[in-house]
Amino acid sequence: MEFSVSLFFFLCLLTQSVSSQNAIAPPRGWNSYDSFSWIISQEEFLQNAEVLSQRLFPHGYEYAVVDFLWYRSLDGGDLSFGKENKDEWGRLLPDPDRWPSSIGGHGFKSVADKVHSMGLKFGIHLMAGISTQVVEQNTPILDTETGGVYMEAGKEWHAGDIGIKSRACSWMPKSFMAINLTLGAGRAYLKSIYDLYASWDVDFVKLDCVFGDNLDIDEITTVSGILKELNRSIVLSLSPGVSATPQMARQVSGIVNMYRITGDYWDQWQQMTDHFNVSREFASAKLIGIRGLNDSSWPDLDMLPFGWLTDPGVKQGPHRFTNLSSTEQTTQMTLWSIAKSPLMYGGDMRNLEENTFNLITNPTLLEINSNSSNNMEVCFPFQTPGIRSWIATGSGGKVYVAYFNLNQENSWILMKTSSLGSELPGRSFANCQGQDAWNEMNKVTNETLVADVEPHGCALFVLTCT
């Protein structure tokens, strides 16, 4: 679609895009999985990207990411074997039936060009290791330096030489296995696939089955080194995060940009509440926004499953509305923002309703997500159990205080502003003004924060104190 913007507006957008080019702030964007599972087509993807460009890009959502199995024929299933499209070197290529511009060996180059023409950046999902189909077909490994088959120790190397069948991906054991990276041929294979995807002008890679319970520090380190040597900046995201710990994160945070710290999260309240403990752990470990690949790295709480969605693993596009209530969505967005998680919207962009749009573009939340500091959960002495609290500091002396009511009934919260002094020493809280971003009736009264918070809801005070 052709469109024009004023020079001033274009420069504003350009500045915003460049500011997060290397994940200086938590990345924002749209990912196809929550609304399309693995079956998305080129037409559907570009339709979503176009709306992303028009509506969310001005608010910093800049990545359009194709998730999961874009190379698999629809004749197969999400856990099946033998339906991958690949080139003669065993490198996975888009399914031509769903991605017709890839026909003739063009890969995702045309799609990336269209995404870039919208002002966005283009991302793809990859499984760690190597396809079982590629190993069984024993395709030759490309030497990107010579353009021929990789040679070492007087022999030509093939996929069957580098796959480790005893280390299959735990949740896709028929489809992918680890690579022996002690071998030069194993490293050459990874170099060949990332060189190919860089030639398509990919800006973002979500690498799966490589973190948490599936931690493969050798592959993460090798991939990070390859990306660092490329002529283009590519954000590296790790997934999933089942059983991820701060100790594990310290091994990878300096060489990636995002890493999931939970398993796959869908639109269920109980799943959402599980994120409070894990986000607290990673914040207290001082892992938010520390040095990463080419810039910063961010613990990732997973996507925003709002709007029109599908279900995991099915061959069906968006067909149902999120199970989360509007109150629960506000609670999630507030936690994700104050914990400084990347913000990846998962719903069908083509049916982005106004309430969801207003929530995910709320300027206070986005300011907190990008520019706040000292983000942490704190334990204030509330009489009511089931209340969680976070604080953060902002520009101009602002202090953000969030309360989350995980209970099934309304909760009244009363807290002296002076209590903040124990968490933010050196600041004065004798005279604070402010109110709740979600309920204007919740205010600071007589140096006391007063909030009536509904079940599963939250309050977000923006305070200015002297």
C-alpha 354/C-alpha 228 separation (Å) is: 40
**Those residues with Cβ within 8 angstroms of residue 229's Cβ, 6 or more apart along the chain or in another chain:** none
User: Which tokens belong to 295?
Assistant: 């810039």
Neighbouring residues of 227: CB distance < 8 A, sequence distance ≥ 6? 194, 205, 234, 236, 293
pLDDT of residue 21: 55
Q: Which residues contact 77 (CB under 8 A, 6 or more apart)?
A: 315
Question: With bands split at pLDDT 50, 70 and 90, how would you rate the model's confidence at 16?
Answer: very low
pLDDT tens-digit readout, 258-276 = 999 999 999 999 999 999 9
Question: pLDDT at position 176, please?
Answer: 96
Spatial distance between the Cα atoms of 387 and 382, rounded to a whole number of angstroms: 8
Apex 34 CA angle, 3 and 38, nearest 5: 90
Dihedral of CA 428/432/436/437: which sign?
A: negative
What is the b/e burial string over 259-296, where b = at least 16 CB atoms within 10 angstroms of the residue's CB? bbbbbbbbbeeebbbebbebbbbbbebebbbeebbbbb
pLDDT at 58: 98
> Taking phi first (over 0 means left), then psi (-120 to 50 degrees means alpha), and beta for anything else, what does residue 400 get?
beta
pLDDT of residue 82: 76
pLDDT recorded at residue 2: 37
Interhelix angle 42-51/109-117, rounded to 10 degrees, is 20
Backbone angles phi, psi at 100, to 5 degrees: -60, -25
Chain Cα centroid distance, residue 11: 26
Lookup: tokens for 400:
């953000």
Quick check: 208 and 171 in contact, CB under 8 A? no
What was the pLDDT predicted at 426?
A: 86
Question: Are 258 and 227 a contacting pair, CB within 8 Å?
Answer: no
What value does the mean pLDDT take over residues 408-429? 91
Average pLDDT value over all residues in the chain: 93
Report all structural domains of the chain as residue ranges with CATH numbers, in order of start: 7-371 (3.20.20.70), 376-465 (2.60.40.1180)
What is the reported pLDDT for 76? 77
* Tens-place pLDDT, residues 128-139: 999 999 999 999
Query: How would residue 331 be classed by pLDDT, with cut points 50, 70 and 90?
Result: very high
Q: What is the predicted pLDDT for the residue at 452?
A: 94
Residue 17 has pLDDT above 60, yes or no: no
How much is the average pLDDT of 415-444? Answer: 91
- Look at residue 433 in the predicted model and tell me its pLDDT: 92
Q: Kindly report the number of other CB atoms within 10 A of residue 6's CB atom.
A: 8
> Using an 8 Å Cβ cutoff, are 281 and 274 in contact?
no
8 A C-beta contact, residue 20 and residue 60: yes
Predicted pLDDT of residue 52: 98
pTM over 0.95: no
Angle between helices 184-199 and 217-229 (to 10 degrees): 50
The torsion angles phi and psi of 156, rounded to 5 degrees, stand at: -85, 140
State pLDDT tens for residues 373-406: 999 999 886 667 889 999 999 998 999 999 999 9
**Which residue, chain included where needed, has tokens 């002002």?**
119
Q: State yes or no: pLDDT of 186 exceeds 90.
A: yes
